[in-house]
Amino acid sequence: MQFFIDTAIIDEVREINAWGVLSGVTTNPSLVASSGRDFREVIQEIAQLVGGAISAEVTALDAEGMIKEGREVAGWSDHVVVKLPLTPAGLQACKTLSSEGIKTNITLCFSVPQALLAARAGATYISPFAGRVDDIGWDGIELVRQIKEAYVLGDIQTKVLAASIRHPQHVVQAALAGADVATVPYKVFTQMIKHPLTQAGLDAFLKDWAKRAGASPETPSSEAGTNPQQGGVTAQGEPVQGGQKQ
């Protein structure tokens, strides 16, 4: 499963891209608006930084307007994927833009029938919104799994892009459901990388290294883990609090 980051904040893109894990970026009108930046500038900057697939969403509601906007944003960079809403006009625009060789991401997908229509209209990506489906008491990851299953059975090439990801378990579940891509917010990336045993193990390695013959008296330590203020775990996984084993 590939990772995209779901943001229009350049610093967030830069930081996670430096990890070497990104294959693209998704934006939407809300994310671009909250970045406070010019739409074209921010998309071009992201495209230069990351490459890969950069989703830029149209705001027109009619097919003609979407096609016009889609052609325009696709012209900003070879990396742009035109994001279109799952409406009749969005499907119509998708068909036209796809036939011109422009990549598309059909967004705001909440059902398998919608995903089947998007695929038939030539979508490069379909974006089921897992978190928002969970929000209304349904199972967002089950939606991702069913879309993938229907696509595999129908030999459909449209990629399933799990969106509206809210926590690391969503990422795990999306991968197990067969998603081709997960678009992950910055905060969730920072949660994914953390594990108390990694920090505690690193602290223990550094302490042992500092004790070797001829080492300087200063003991380097990693950022968290066995920090007495925060509690944490020992390198063997035993909990500690206030610097003491519990």
Query: Would you please indicate which residues are annotated as catalytic (active-site) residues?
Result: 83
> Binding to ligand E4P (CB under 6 A): which residues in 187-246?
none
Which CB atom, from 46 or from 235, has the smaller least distance to ligand E4P?
46
Which CB atom, from 131 or from 231, has the smaller least distance to ligand E4P?
131
Cα angle 190, 195, 201; round to 5: 130
Among the residue ranges 128-136, 145-153, 221-229, 231-239, the one whose residues contact ligand E4P (CB under 6 A) = 128-136
Contact status: 127 vs ligand E4P (CB under 6 A): yes
- Gap between the Cα atoms of 104 and 140, Å rounded: 22
Which CB atom, from 84 or from 163, has the smaller least distance to ligand E4P?
163
- Gap between the Cα atoms of 45 and 66, Å rounded: 23
> Binding to ligand E4P (CB under 6 A): which residues in 153-172?
163-164
Among the residue ranges 14-22, 129-137, 205-213, 227-235, the one whose residues contact ligand E4P (CB under 6 A) = 129-137
Among 132, 146, 204, 222, binds ligand E4P (CB under 6 A): 132
Q: What amino acid is encoded at 160 in this protein?
A: V
125 Cα distance to chain centroid: 13
Contact status: 131 vs ligand E4P (CB under 6 A): yes
Do residues 225 and 44 touch, judged by C-beta distance below 8 A?
no
Compute how many other C-beta atoms are within 10 angstroms of the C-beta atom of residue 21. Answer: 14
Min. distance of Cβ 48 from ligand E4P in angstroms? 20
Min. distance of Cβ 13 from ligand E4P in angstroms? 14
Which CB atom, from 26 or from 199, has the smaller least distance to ligand E4P?
26
Among 39, 110, 125, 129, binds ligand E4P (CB under 6 A): 129
- Gap between the Cα atoms of 155 and 152, Å rounded: 5
Which CB atom, from 30 or from 241, has the smaller least distance to ligand E4P?
30
DSSP class of residue 157 equals: -
Non-local CB neighbours of 180 within 8 Å, separated by 6+ positions: 1, 2, 148, 159, 160, 161
The CA-based dihedral angle spanning residues 210, 214, 217, 221, taken in that order and rounded to the nearest 10 degrees: -20
Min. distance of Cβ 243 from ligand E4P in angstroms? 39
> Binding to ligand E4P (CB under 6 A): which residues in 22-81?
26, 28
The H-assigned helical ranges of the chain are 10-17, 29-35, 39-50, 63-74, 88-99, 112-120, 130-135, 140-153, 168-176, 186-193, 196-210
Residues of the shown chain interacting with ligand E4P in the complex, contacts defined by CB under 6 A:
6, 26, 28, 107, 127, 129, 131-132, 163-164, 183
